[in-house]
A and B are shown apart, each in its own frame.
Chain A
Amino acid sequence: MTTMTLSRRGLSFWAQLVFTLLVCALLMAPVAMSMLAGVTANYFVGIKSGLTLRWVEEVWRLYADTIFLSLRIAFACLGCTLLLGVPAAYALARRQGAVARAVEELLMMPVAVPGLATALALIVTYGGVGDLRRSWLFILIGHVLFTLPFMVRAVLAVMTSIDLKTLEEGAASLGAGFARRFFSVVLPNCRSGILAGSLMVLTLSVGEFNLTWLLHTPMTKTLPVGLADSYASLRIEIGSAYTLVFFIMIVPSLILLQWLARHDRSAP
């Protein structure tokens, strides 16, 4: 759409601007407040009580293991979704028939079905299998199920937007076998989708709570589980400091994602 279609900025422009700014304020105010609360000595007294990193240190002392576990799960989850999702997306991109669409629809189900239900289903089926219930791998399974659709979607979107079939035929006509085509032509031309999918998987895994709350054990607490714990039982400054840590962890990938989206839009 052309910019400045309404070239004269009348009352309606300003009214909409104020409205949009108010929405933005609604979204940003609590974020700013919680960030501030996380470094305020006493939130009840207010900012005049002074700034401190004491609460962040407290969070580190209490919850460092949840942060590491979340990171470990997130990167393991990324590895799994890359190994599973990229080939699956390729297969779905190459076959455009009704069967492929049905498989695609089916793969999206773990996102549509509430995490609570999936977690319950996993527990009743595999809760008694060996030591799985007490292992972080149990949480990993849930995360892979939940994030895989995002990887598949992101990669599939790029694969269907380029003329993958002709590119591959071009490579094959030059003598390249399947593995060579896949690694030298298919993957490099899907970089942006793989990157977007990866960032999405990392962000979602680090923040996943619906599944994780039922799947975790006292020995396998992830960051969001720790967050819920701290919100419920500790003073607001610690909850805020913990939230601040979470923000810092996801901000880089969110910024990259936005940059990617803009980059894609402006590309010819």
Chain B
Amino acid sequence: MQHLQFGLGIRSQIANSLAQQKHPAIDFVEAHTENYFNPHSLSSHQLSQAAQHYPVTLHGVGLSLGSAQGMDKQHLRKVKLCVERYQPALVSEHLSWSQVDGQHFNDLLPVPYTEESFKVFADNIKQFQDSLQRQILIENPSAYLQYADSQIEEADFLNQLSAETGCGLLLDINNVFVSAFNQGSEGVIAAGKRYLEQIDSHRVKQLHMAGHTEKQIGDARVLIDTHNQPVRDEVWALYRHYLSLSQAPMMVLLEWDSDFPEFEVLEQQLSLLRTHADSAKNAQELSHA
């Protein structure tokens, strides 16, 4: 039987509730590493309290593993201190870049998937893992553009990075859908399924699920990865599809970053993570019967 754990991102709006008590629907909490650099802050105190109730995973957003100029060493040192302090179950970062010439952009910017980018990521991931003395996971980003000189498909790029560096993968199912939609793929669900089938599921240790927002830009519709909505039906469909492909134990996270609803809505979303996982497993068993 596949072992799945279901977690929630800890954010300032709900940190107090997670710090005060163990919610039965939540198996673990995930924190954005950069919010916990200062051990004396309220957020660090709340995370320490929450860690008494839940396993913690740390998810970085600012190390910029795709920077051609390399990582910011000071930033890496702060991440390392955070990892030592909280002893997280998993440590993850993104397949993206966010700094060049000393300027940081506080965003997950896309890279072209080329041999040069591959070498940059591989070197930085190895350095990151060597520094922490542990495996990290890399997450697929959401993208609003494509580069003309990309030569490798994103799923292959991730598989090869994992094989080259030994890093694990964090598969964000919502990002798969958002990117497929924004890149104008014909048949978005089919494109998303192909992506999930292409990913080496043995390397995936964590899933992210979230909501997105649709915007009209000129004549085109664009999906923005806002994490402020319930998960959309198409993303549930991709989630079920992926779980029907994988037997690996995994931590499944619900991300919600802004426009926070009542806590009951988050609990309902967590409950749906379990329900859809069960239905994927039932379908898998039926197909094997």
Chains A and B form a bound pair: no
A residues with a Cβ closer than 8 A to B are none
